[in-house]
Amino acid sequence: MSVELNSVPEAVEAIRRGEVVIVVDAEDRENEGDYICAAEKATPEVVNFMLSGRGQLCVSILPEVSKRLDLAPVVMENDAPLKTAFLTPIDIRDAKTGITAAERSATIRRLASPDCNAAEFVRPGHVYPLLAKEGGVLRRAGHTEAAVDLARMAGLHPAAALCEILDDSGDRASRDDLAAIARERNLKIISIEQLISHRRVSEKLISRAAEARLPTRHGEFTIIVYGVQYEAQEPIALVYGDLSAPGTPPLVRMHSSCFTGDLVASLRCDCGDQLQMALEMISNEGRGALIYLPQEGRGIGLAQKIRAYALQDSGLDTVEANHALGFKADMRDYGVGLQILKDLGLSKVRLLTNNPKKTEAFNLRGFDLQVVDQVPIVPPVNEHNQRYLETKRAKLGHRLPEL
């Protein structure tokens, strides 16, 4: 049974009226559905209904509120797979135990007040604040951010209650279960991908900060440096030729920064070779773009990458080394890169990559970008990177020939 989703404006209007909506995420992420309502509309009756979802009742707030209330992360090192940012659980100070629907309602609604202060709450409590990222689902495609976005878009205070929905066996409710609940309760149901797509029409986090000609040994490119709201990173687009010209969709490379490979020609990886190969292939075609994203070490940072190298020297492969350091095999996110491609006016691309997960990122994020072809970019193999490439093929699914 397919889930018939409502429109984002319908869900926003329901939130404005104080109703609960169901929000689902990608099936390859948590594959989860949450009840969500605006925090200032969380009456005891609404809270009692949301608790029927059987999950953890939380409330999404922005960093300014967290700072004002002196709410600390529940752990200093968050190694949860999706980095859900749980803060100190709290109760409203005049609650008896804090567990009742009325008491949790009072806690949640007070959190939504712009003048609330730390003295009004006790800790620990029964309501878990979640720290949402500024920028919402355009920065992180999670329920935490979706909840705040919906409240803000409804013209309400940017704070929202949310609770995961489990089935009668205690497992995550399936898409069919969620659709049945929505029909039975007359609830609006939308996806996070829909929310991203809707916000992308009128909002974006990136802006052009500088632009100039850039002659290279591969020909003359245009370099565009972007600023990203709420972040210090400065991603770059190297554009060759006229991307809007009719014909075959242009070649595009989403390249994550690699100091060791890109700058000093390390033989431990294939990054530097792929960078130069991509520029040459784009130049030979006469048009295309390379997006350079500051995501060192598949997103773990330079220092951690060098620590991973040391672990690889002791016998671990690149995936095992990341896991040993407490990271997923690949921590990268392509949301900013996708926004840059939209800023460049692209809707269809031929993606220069061996990594099918990059192709999936285009299709899952709701940015109206279509990968019409995955073009291989296979670098030379040497004695230092052979095991690395074999691991990428065997454990990360990269499309590489026999090495």
Catalytic residues: 330, 332
User: What is the side-by-side order of every strand in the sheet holding 90-92?
Assistant: 90-92, 121-131, 58-61, 160-164, 33-38, 21-24, 189-191
Do 164 and 34 form a contact (C-beta atoms < 8 A)? Answer: yes
Calpha distance 305→173 (Å, rounded): 38
Q: At what angle do helices 192-202 and 8-16 cross, to 10 degrees?
A: 100
Place of tokens 């970008």: 369
- Burial profile 119-147: b = 16 or more Cβ within 10 angstroms, e = fewer: ebbeeebbbbbbbbbbbbbbbbbbbbbbb
- Using CB atoms within 10 A of its CB, is residue 68 exposed (0-12), middle (13-18) or buried (19+)? middle
Instruction: Give the residue from 68, 84, 76, 77 showing the smallest Cα distance to 29.
Output: 84
Alpha carbon 23 to its chain's center: 16
Calpha distance 316→293 (Å, rounded): 27
In DSSP terms, 24 is beta-bridged to 33, 191
